[in-house]
Structure 1
């Protein structure tokens, strides 16, 4: 099974993916962003636009996930913002057509909630550091609210643990109990955020 966790930038996809990984034995996170980062690094700076517009990204994501789903026995988790319907069909749609069980979840929240989360992860740079995410926010929220991007999970008043619980319940998966206290949970979230800082 593939759990594709969609949502706006700053919507909690990565935190949710690693919460699922922590509590779902045998699962693995396959992050489609890494395919895009590799493509960006190969290009001269002047050609580094949105890597999702590069056909090789969509093909690469499909091939890597198809290979993983065919050969890996555990649940595969892919956290990735994907709002262009044609690109969604080239990746998620093709994986379904290939016979894989794909469960897609779009994490949604009010604009103010996402802006607050982006500011918190800006590491002192505030929203300026997250300017790309802020520019794309309204478009992401509008597109992801469409029926094509269901199943929707509204996260404004739901913790990361709660979001993971909802995804697992919907997908028919059993998570290990969450035994983290508030401090340990906060430290875990900070560590995950630091591991996923982008510098390019």
Structure 2
């Protein structure tokens, strides 16, 4: 299965995902951003874009990588990845469904003031114009489709450890049917 942790940049997906991975037995973190970084390394480069998710190969490569890893390892993949374009989410989730890979889709949410404070106060990355630029697209996605497509975890007053525990508890409490590695790879 995949535990997809969505939400805007700076909400705590990476930190929370590492904690979720420790709470769910036989799980691994798969950073789908690395697929985008691989595409960015192609030389000469792919057509210019401000977001590698706009490149059509990214989405099916994420699906294929995730399913192949699950076929090889079994267990659970925890995927911390912002996807704010509904069409892209539908393509990824449909691709995983075609391969019989169940997905638990969570969105880490915080109110705009909290998000701005986290972005401005990030001791590791510092204030990030990139993260600030995604606040409104996230808010729009949350209003129009994203919160309807996922289990929302409001992190406004939660630590990353508390958010991770809520996600892990939800996954353990309502597990998907277990499948063998061979079943994961079936088209």
Shorter-chain TM range is 0.7 to 0.9
Say what the alpha-carbon RMSD is for the aligned residues.
Answer: 2.2
1:92, 1:83 → 2: CA distance? 13
User: Residue 133 of structure 1: which of 131, 140, 146 is its match?
Assistant: 131
Matches within 5 A, 1:102-141: 102-121=103-122, 123=124, 126-127=126-127, 130-141=128-139
Report the 3-state secondary structure (helix = DSSP H, G, I; strand = E; otherwise coil) of the residue aligned with 1:172.
Answer: helix
Aligned to 1:66: 67
Unpaired segments of 5 or more residues in structure 1?
A: 175-200
Structure 1 residue 171 displacement after superposition: 1.3
Query: Which structure shows the bigger proportion of residues in helix conformation?
Result: 1
Aligned to 1:101: 102
> Which aligned segments of 4 or more residues in structure 1 are displaced greater than 4 angstroms?
43-46
Report the 3-state secondary structure (helix = DSSP H, G, I; strand = E; otherwise coil) of the residue aligned with 1:113.
Answer: helix
What TM-score results when the alignment is normalised by the length of structure 1?
0.77
Structure 1 residue 119 displacement after superposition: 1.8
Structure 1 residue 44 displacement after superposition: 4.2
Aligned to 2:15: 15
User: 2:23·2:165 contact (CA, 8 Å) conserved in 1?
Assistant: no
Aligned to 2:81: 80
User: 1:83·1:143 contact (CA, 8 Å) conserved in 2?
Assistant: yes
Aligned to 1:89: 90
Aligned to 1:40: 40
What TM-score results when the alignment is normalised by the length of structure 2?
0.82
Structure 1 residue 159 displacement after superposition: 1.1
1:127-185 residue CA offsets vs partner (Å, 9 max, x unmatched): 2xx112211111112213434432111100011111111111211269xxxxxxxxxxx
Structure 1 residue 90 displacement after superposition: 1.1
1:168, 1:24 → 2: CA distance? 6
2:165, 2:173 → 1: CA distance? 9
